Amino acid sequence: MFQIVVPTERIPPGVGYHTSVSALGTLQASQHKGQSVELITEDIELIGGPQIENYPFKARKRHSQDYIRQYLHLRARTNTFSSILRVRSQAKMAMQEYFNKEHFINIDTPILTANDCEGGGEVFMVQPLFAEVGSHESLSTKYFGHPAYLTVSGQLHLEAMASGLSKVYNFNPAFRAENSQTRRHLAEFWMVEAEEAFLSGPEGLQNLMNRIEDLLKASIQCVLDKSEEDVFTHWKQNECTEELVKAALSLPFIRMTYDEAMTLLQDNSQHFQTKPSLGDDLGKEHELFLTKHAGNRPVFVTDWPKKTKAFYMRARDDNPDVVLGVDLLLPDIGEVAGGGLREDRPQVLRKELNARGLIENLQWYLDLRTFGGGAPSGGFGAYMDGQGGHRDGVSTLPRSLMPGTCPSRKRGVDSQIPQKIISGNKASGKVLLREEKKKLLSISECSLQQQATTTD
């Protein structure tokens, strides 16, 4: 990015903040601080018409993220948001390069699925747009006679692929129907997930943590090398982030068991609004305390109580109430990745599925362990949006990514997309039919074309 220098008398009428121009001139070394080159303009032409007076963004004025979110369709023009998207793109390419180097196969897992991966019920159910009004068919069977959901994770599909390909990964959107208004949760976000065969026992869990740590460090370093200017834009706005990132790159991630973490938290329980309780999951304040206590370094927490994790987690041979699971916590953020080893014993898995009432829908998942035995495997999922974001050293990255959708944020382009349109109205040509269902959240996305603009 560089500035163009134009004599005042050559500026065309109508040129304003974020207008598009075509400039012809000589590129030369800049004498100004913070830029290496500048364009001495000989000819400049206004493209796309003049800027209107009520344009929401103003030059030399700092706009808050909440203000910018009111104009979702325009925010790609701002320096902050455009740099976030460039960094996000570079981070995604860096991870793909890592997986390719490590001989992982990329899999596109389904977006529409019959599986509720976690079994928690916080899913979006799918039905045809033009479902017959007044139909007595239940909502759960309106997808051609069967229930269908927007995916919450591609993990189960990746496990199926790993049984034949050994090492697989995906980049996929995920959808959660939690009606949460916090900055930690999005109704729509992207994840990278990986599954690897021939991981077993405590040693396999250590190897899985090595994989996660190597992936994140390689991605961070690649982003720093190739997107230095964009990263620096955010480091100027987030004090101490540079030190946190450098520490993450140069030092090994801390590893502790759940019991060790809980002992530490209970010894410092006076610092928490919610007291840590042995056997329960960790809250956000607990996660942040652990990373701060570790010297603001990333922390792996392993060996979790069975009741806190999903049915597919492999129990320890020496303690069936503890599973070989892992969460990765980052400073200032908390949990950004989770995973573990998978239960590979058919008889144990069958018992778990029966106990949770999942055997009918997940018989195929049991088959993976039954036919040919199935190699033991492990895997993880890491947030591209939502809860994660330190790959580029930007602690605010998950709060402003597009097209991540939060239940309370339907402004700009999103707010104009109808939930259902029925043709036939002579006056307007269409009628908006609003269907309100209890706990059914509407989601939408907008696609924006990249635009050439002047800088903000």
Q: Quick one: pLDDT at residue 183?
A: 58
Q: Quick one: pLDDT at residue 99?
A: 98
Ramachandran sector of residue 186 (left: φ over 0; alpha: ψ -120 to 50; beta: rest): beta
Q: Quick one: pLDDT at residue 374?
A: 79
Is 123 a residue whose pLDDT tops 80?
yes
Q: Name the average pLDDT for the chain.
A: 81
Is 224 a residue whose pLDDT tops 70?
yes
Query: Looking at residues 287-302, what average pLDDT do you find?
Result: 96
Q: Quick one: pLDDT at residue 412?
A: 43
In terms of pLDDT, which residue wins out, 16 or 243?
16
Is 128 a residue whose pLDDT tops 90?
no
Give CA–CA dist 154/166, Å, rounded: 16
Query: Looking at residues 2-7, what average pLDDT do you find?
Result: 88
In terms of pLDDT, which residue wins out, 151 or 185?
151
Question: What are the pLDDT digits (tens) for 258-267?
Answer: 999 999 999 9
Query: Looking at residues 18-29, what average pLDDT do you find?
Result: 93
Side-chain half-sphere of 31: how many Cα atoms within 13 Å? 2
Lowest model confidence (mean pLDDT) among 87-101, 142-156, 225-239, 416-430: 416-430
- pLDDT level of residue 2 (50, 70, 90 thresholds): confident
- pLDDT level of residue 247 (50, 70, 90 thresholds): confident
Is 82 a residue whose pLDDT tops 80?
yes
- pLDDT level of residue 427 (50, 70, 90 thresholds): very low
Domains in the chain with CATH codes? 3-55 (no CATH), 75-128+139-383 (3.30.930.10)
Q: Quick one: pLDDT at residue 46?
A: 93
- pLDDT level of residue 192 (50, 70, 90 thresholds): very high
- pLDDT level of residue 179 (50, 70, 90 thresholds): confident
Is 40 a residue whose pLDDT tops 50?
yes
